[in-house]
Amino acid sequence: MMTCEEVRLSLGAHVLGALEPDEAVLVEAHLAECEACAAEFDELAGVSDLLARVGRVSEHDVAQVASPPAAVLERLLSARAARRRRSRALLSLAASVVLLAGGGAVWAVMGSQTSTQTASSDAPAVLSAPSSAEAYAHNRAQDAESEAATAPRDAENAQKAFTEPPGAGSGGPPETAEKSARGPQTAAATPAPLQERAADAAGVPGELVRSGRSGDVRVTVRASPTPRGADIAVSLAGVAAGERGRLIVVGADGKSETAGSWVVKNADKGVYQGATSITPESITRFEIHGADGLLVSVPR
């Protein structure tokens, strides 16, 4: 006759079918008569069932889980550090721009290129994507500048909206769901001629995203509210490299501001950052001007 203690210690092996047949018979006989041990067996059987349900986990798998590559952590931390250094540099740059502009619209031109390859980036290491890193650092600089703990606007958002085709969002379903749940879609206004919705226009509340096209020129403008007015990101395609471009923002009261200018680096796609004192809700029109005048007008 086995004691309860002996049976208990054998129960793990019994649940997993590892006992020799003669011992298994003895354990079964005990379980038939001892409720406490039978209850213990049921609990362990639940664990065994779960293991069976999830399928085979190899020693290799367990080893990977136990020690993920430390290099990844180092790279993550240095990516963060690099961003911080960069944002400090941009902060001082932004300060000097303010001085030059005499307190007018702050205009940090970020002539970063965003090639279409970035969208389906072969090497997703973020640091290797200059447009992403720069735009992100820029936003961070502005965050720090305004000390506003606003919703995170980052390069990824900008990049998604500007460079990725519909349905190719690498952020995946959760992000999409999250975005559409964020509130009123600012881009849901009545479409005007030449106006199209951005590929991923559902944005944070208060953000205004509009796209327009005229001939070969395609533009998407995203205005994000800030305490001073709006930060603006312009994604522009179809303007020849080397040409100077300019964004004019027109407000509800008829006031217009040059939100910034840039030199086109890449005719295929360029993302330019800027700011205006006009708030997103009072913007009525964006105008992109080239060397020879108006290229495209994007109504609200």
Partner 1 sequence: MRDSLEGAEPLRRELRREDVSPAGTADEQLIKALFDDHAGPLYGYVLRLTGDTGRAEDVVQETLLRAWRHPDALAGKPIRAWLFTVARNLVFDQHRARRSRPQETGDEALAVMPADDELERAVESWAVAEAIAALRPEHREVLMHVYYQGRSVRETSDALGIPPGTVKSRTYYALRALKLALEERGLAP
85-124: which residues touch partner 1 (CB under 8 A)? Answer: 116-117, 119-124
180 alpha-carbon distance from chain centroid? 14
CB of 176 to partner 1, least distance (A): 10
Nearer of residues 8 and 300 to partner 1, judged by Cβ: 8
Tokens of 164: 């990725």
238 is a site residue for partner 1 (CB under 8 A):
no
CB of 46 to partner 1, least distance (A): 4
240-299: which residues touch partner 1 (CB under 8 A)? Answer: none
Nearer of residues 104 and 183 to partner 1, judged by Cβ: 183
71 is a site residue for partner 1 (CB under 8 A):
yes
Backbone angles phi, psi at 223, to 5 degrees: -110, 120
28 is a site residue for partner 1 (CB under 8 A):
no
Q: Which of 61, 89, 95, 96 binds partner 1 (CB under 8 A)?
A: 61
Nearer of residues 225 and 299 to partner 1, judged by Cβ: 225
22 is a site residue for partner 1 (CB under 8 A):
no
139-168: which residues touch partner 1 (CB under 8 A)? Answer: 149, 151-152, 154, 156, 164-168
Contact 283, 222 (CB under 8 A): no
216 is a site residue for partner 1 (CB under 8 A):
no
Contact 249, 232 (CB under 8 A): yes
Q: With CB under 8 A as the contact rule, which of the stretches 79-87, 226-234, 252-260, 290-298 interacts with partner 1?
A: 79-87
Count Cβ atoms within 10 A of the Cβ of residue 37 and give its class: 0-12 exposed, 13-18 middle, 19 or more buried. buried
Nearer of residues 201 and 249 to partner 1, judged by Cβ: 201
* Count of residues touching partner 1 (by CB under 8 A): 73
CB of 268 to partner 1, least distance (A): 13
- Rounded CA-CA distance 290/281 in Å is 26
CB proximity list for 60: less than 8 A, separation 6 or greater: none
Buried b (16+ CB within 10 A) or exposed e, 82-97: ebeebbeebbeebeeb
Q: With CB under 8 A as the contact rule, which of the stretches 71-79, 218-226, 248-256, 292-300 interacts with partner 1?
A: 71-79
173 is a site residue for partner 1 (CB under 8 A):
yes
Nearer of residues 47 and 294 to partner 1, judged by Cβ: 47
196 is a site residue for partner 1 (CB under 8 A):
no
